[in-house]
Amino acid sequence: MKIAQSDLIINPDGSIYHLNLLPGDVAETVITVGDPDRVSQVSKHFDTIELKKGKREFITHTGFVGKKRVTVLSTGIGTDNIDIVLNELDALVNIDFNARQIKQELTSLNIVRIGTSGSVQPDIPMGTILASAYGLGMDALMNYYLPPELNSNAALLEEIKVHFKGFQKINPYLNAADENLLNTIGKDLPTGITVTAPGFYAPQGRLVRAQNAVPHFINLVSSFKSNQYRITNLEMETAGIYALANVLGHKALSINAILASRVNFQFSSEPDKVVENAIKLVLERL
């Protein structure tokens, strides 16, 4: 079946609508970062850079790290952007743009997010590099997709729903990291469940001037425990990446540079250093 022009939008130069990339511009290993300025912080470590493209907040550099072709791409903030990035990355490798049809042979991308995040556990201090074993979405993205069959954990999600039962406005979704990426790039790192929030302030329990509808949000989040699992940190993209990667058959891992300690009410005085550590760790382990 042909995919409609309104559903898969291809620019006059043959590039995909938002990412502004041509099929072939994307490597099979894709690093995503939220901040567009972080793209060159990553690609400055590449041995060669073959292309730099961008549109809006979606900046892409593709090049080589040793013999491995790697793309680094900024997503901007939030799972609404993740919807665009994951669908357009998938289309670039799995749709024939001329025929507007799904290819016979599908490509599974390795997608590694390098993001910043806030810890909700006292033993995970600022400066920690943490791998997300699970992404727990508190946003609405996955209300619009059929859930993935792989890498979900229905029993753990049920326990989480019971824990958050007083907070009826959300329909949380839970997806696991790719096991192989977790055991290689995430090797020996602290792990946990990463909560993906639909905002930075009240949706992550911050109080500035507007009053919070969920006043003890950090306590609620940090007190969840089930066997070896607990919620470790808060950010704004991981759960969407894990869920859509699983829906579309890609492999994903999120690496978090912990900049805030929400239990100690502190924010890092050297955020760039922490992010640089996370970038180097990921590139060494690709």
Ligand X SMILES: O=c1cc[nH]c(=O)[nH]1
Residues that bind ligand R1P (CB under 6 A): 33-35, 77, 115-116, 200, 235-237
99, 89, 113, 125: which is closest to 16 by C-alpha? 89
95, 89, 106, 91: which is closest to 1 by C-alpha? 95
Contact 16, 88 (CB under 8 A): yes
Distances (CA, A) of 256 to 20, 37, 66: 27, 17, 24
* Identity of residue 118: G
- Residue 3 Cβ vs ligand R1P, minimum distance, rounded to whole Å: 30
Question: Is 139 near ligand X (CB under 6 A)?
Answer: no
Helix, strand, coil percentages, rounded to 5, for the chain: 25, 30, 45
- Residue 132 Cβ vs ligand X, minimum distance, rounded to whole Å: 13
3-state DSSP assignment of residue 50? strand
Enumerate the H helices of the chain as residue ranges.
38-43, 79-94, 154-163, 179-184, 217-222, 238-248, 271-285
User: Nearest to ligand R1P by Cβ — which residue?
Assistant: 34
* Identity of residue 212: N
- Residue 278 Cβ vs ligand R1P, minimum distance, rounded to whole Å: 10
- Identify which of residues 247 and 278 has a Cβ nearer to ligand X in the complex: 278
- Residue 218 Cβ vs ligand X, minimum distance, rounded to whole Å: 10
Among 63, 118, 190, 192, binds ligand X (CB under 6 A): 118
Question: Is 82 near ligand X (CB under 6 A)?
Answer: no
Phi, then psi, of 195 in degrees rounded to 5? -85, 130
- Residue 104 Cβ vs ligand X, minimum distance, rounded to whole Å: 40
Residues 209-268 touching ligand X, rule: CB under 6 A, are 234-236, 259-260
Stretch that binds ligand X, among 110-118, 146-154, 156-164, 244-252 (CB under 6 A): 110-118
The CA distance from 11 to 18, in Å, is 9
Among 20, 87, 110, 116, binds ligand X (CB under 6 A): 116
Question: Is 204 near ligand X (CB under 6 A)?
Answer: yes
Question: Is 25 near ligand X (CB under 6 A)?
Answer: no
The contact set with ligand X (CB under 6 A) reads: 116-118, 200, 204, 234-236, 259-260
